[in-house]
């Protein structure tokens, strides 16, 4: 932890959600509360002093992000920056058309803004990603149309850490403005080239919460979607929080300097987690690009485990981590990022290391994790393979069609998991597969959307054949789908 930071847990491994306040930010905030409290739009002495501090902060942020100072506007959050950026660029480029393009793994702020745009009569195209969470530049370019007003692509994914080919995509945009959400990478990595609009969030890099950044390149058409206001270049209405902005700028400069030293060390610690977890825990899948990734973030998913239960166990052991599990009690829907990647969505844990993460803490995390997972799985009575035997191959036959379905005379074992939420359908499958003869088929009836992804992922991890999906009614169900698995081992 940074000196002076007090948390309720002994080890904080969730900086992708929010980073502890950096000591430089704390110092700058305290000083700016005394010197920058006045209205920077006023001409009296205290107002001019606040304006000088605001201008200096803007210069600092612009320098780190590779922009001009007059291209930088400060918002109330990273989410607001994204929303204003998307809506403002669409409004400014409405003569081109009303078509918006974004990747399938963007932050929810993009997805919700796209939904609003579509509800208002616009059109939206979603670019798929591969199993590592990465878009294809050619695939992204193929989604662009003559009426495309804006393209959106994150610099790096917030759930799995995969770094996107922003510069390659930008080179293929052919005049279509590109908004890059750099919330997870700003301060940690160089800003990718080719952006037309850029957004970031101070609390991700150790600045105070409540400060976002919206950068709009000179020459990019932009029309504020909100009523006119003279502040922040007319892009963001309302009074700016000068002390918080000063602290955000100071900490951004500090963490960028630290990143040059820390990234290699954090990359090695994350590599240690990526390689060790599959050796220590059976039936686990580490997701995201193993090479083109953020240096501090790793995500893995455990079969037969509710992500929130696993998170709670780790919290009791003194580790604050995050779960993007499909089984969160607040939504009961799969993570849209993991769903788009086609990977296991249950039992998901994201570890994101702070700049000063200690190797000893990483080793302690790896020491306690297997026992916590075993404790959660113990009541299930499953016969799990040794960790070293766990495979991570892509599911065989994923997305299969009718040609692989059992014939009318083939015996099928039916497992009724209707009404059961993940990971229960997969647990029921794992319990019953041993009673099915080699070459036999088991049909899992489920109405939980997560089963559509998790059952094929289970097949890939256990070396079984996924034979496709059929209506549950074909096997006596009154709703949902039947997921067909052929036993091969």
Query: What positions carry a catalytic annotation?
Result: 327
How many whole angstroms separate alpha carbon 189 and alpha carbon 256?
8
Would you call the peptide bond into 423 cis, given omega within 30 degrees of 0 as the criterion? Answer: yes
How many whole angstroms separate alpha carbon 174 and alpha carbon 381?
57
Q: Identify the DSSP state of 328.
A: -
How many whole angstroms separate alpha carbon 29 and alpha carbon 44?
22
Helix, strand, or coil (residue 238): coil
Q: Which run of H or of E encompasses 199? A: strand 197-201
For the chain, the farthest-separated pair of C-alpha atoms sits apart, in whole angstroms, at 89
Task: Supply φ then ψ for residue 205, to 5 degrees.
Answer: -110, 5
206: its two tokens:
């150790």
What are the respective helix, strand and coil percentages of the chain, to the nearest 5? 40, 20, 45
How many whole angstroms separate alpha carbon 442 and alpha carbon 346?
21
Q: Long-range CB contacts (< 8 A, 24+ apart) of 60-65?
A: 60/249, 60/250, 60/252, 60/253, 61/213, 61/248, 61/249, 61/252, 62/215, 63/253, 64/186, 64/187, 64/191, 64/252, 64/253, 64/256, 65/182, 65/186, 65/191, 65/198, 65/200, 65/213, 65/215
Q: In 19-107, which residue ranges form alpha helices assigned H by DSSP?
A: 23-35, 45-65, 78-92
Q: Inter-axis angle of helices 242-280 and 23-35, to 10 degrees?
A: 170
With beta carbons less than 8 A apart as the criterion, state whether 247 and 208 touch.
yes
């Amino acid at each position: 932890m940074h000196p002076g930071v007090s948390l309720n847990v002994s080890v904080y491994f969730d900086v992708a959600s929010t980073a502890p306040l950096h000591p430089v930010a704390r110092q700058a905030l305290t000083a700016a509360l005394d010197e920058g409290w006045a209205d920077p739009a006023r001409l009296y002495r205290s107002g001019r002093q606040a304006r000088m501090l605001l201008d200096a902060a803007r210069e600092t942020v612009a320098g780190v992000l590779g922009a001009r100072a007059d291209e930088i506007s400060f918002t109330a959050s990273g989410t607001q920056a994204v929303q204003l950026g998307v809506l403002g660029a669409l409004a400014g480029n409405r003569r081109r058309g009303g078509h918006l393009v974004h990747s399938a793994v963007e932050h929810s702020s993009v997805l919700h803004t796209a939904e609003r745009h579509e509800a208002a009569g616009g059109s939206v195209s979603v670019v798929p990603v591969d199993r590592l969470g990465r878009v294809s530049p050619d695939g992204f370019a193929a989604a662009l149309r003559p009426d495309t007003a804006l393209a959106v692509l994150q610099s790096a994914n917030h759930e799995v850490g995969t770094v996107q080919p922003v510069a390659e995509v930008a080179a293929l945009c052919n005049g279509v403005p590109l908004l890059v959400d750099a919330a997870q990478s700003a301060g940690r990595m160089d800003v990718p080239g080719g952006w037309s609009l850029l957004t970031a969030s101070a609390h991700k890099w150790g600045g105070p919460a409540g400060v976002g950044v919206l950068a709009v390149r000179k020459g990019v058409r932009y029309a504020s979607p909100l009523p006119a206001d003279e502040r922040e270049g007319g892009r963001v209405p309302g009074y700016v929080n000068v002390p918080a902005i000063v602290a955000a700028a100071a900490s951004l400069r500090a963490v960028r300097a630290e990143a040059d030293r820390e990234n290699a060390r954090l990359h090695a610690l994350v590599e240690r987690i990526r390689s060790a977890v599959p050796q220590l825990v059976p039936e686990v899948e580490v997701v995201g690009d193993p090479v083109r990734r953020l240096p501090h973030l790793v995500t893995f998913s455990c079969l037969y485990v509710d992500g929130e239960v696993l998170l709670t166990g780790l919290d009791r052991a003194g580790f604050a981590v995050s779960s993007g599990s499909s089984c969160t009690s607040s939504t009961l829907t799969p993570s849209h990022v993991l769903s788009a990647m086609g990977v296991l969505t249950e039992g998901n844990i994201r570890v994101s290391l702070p700049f000063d993460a200690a190797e000893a803490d990483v080793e302690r995390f790896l020491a306690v994790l297997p026992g916590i997972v075993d404790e959660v799985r113990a009541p299930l009575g499953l016969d799990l393979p040794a960790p070293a035997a766990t495979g991570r191959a892509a599911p065989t036959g994923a997305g299969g069609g009718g040609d692989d379905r059992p014939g009318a005379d083939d015996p099928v074992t039916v497992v009724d998991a209707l009404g059961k939420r993940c990971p229960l359908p997969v647990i029921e499958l794992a319990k019953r597969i041993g009673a099915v003869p080699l070459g036999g088929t088991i049909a899992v009836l489920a109405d939980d959307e997560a089963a559509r992804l998790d059952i094929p992922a289970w097949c890939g991890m256990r070396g079984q054949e996924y034979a496709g999906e059929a209506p549950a009614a074909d096997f006596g169900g009154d709703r949902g789908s039947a997921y067909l698995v052929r036993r091969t081992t």
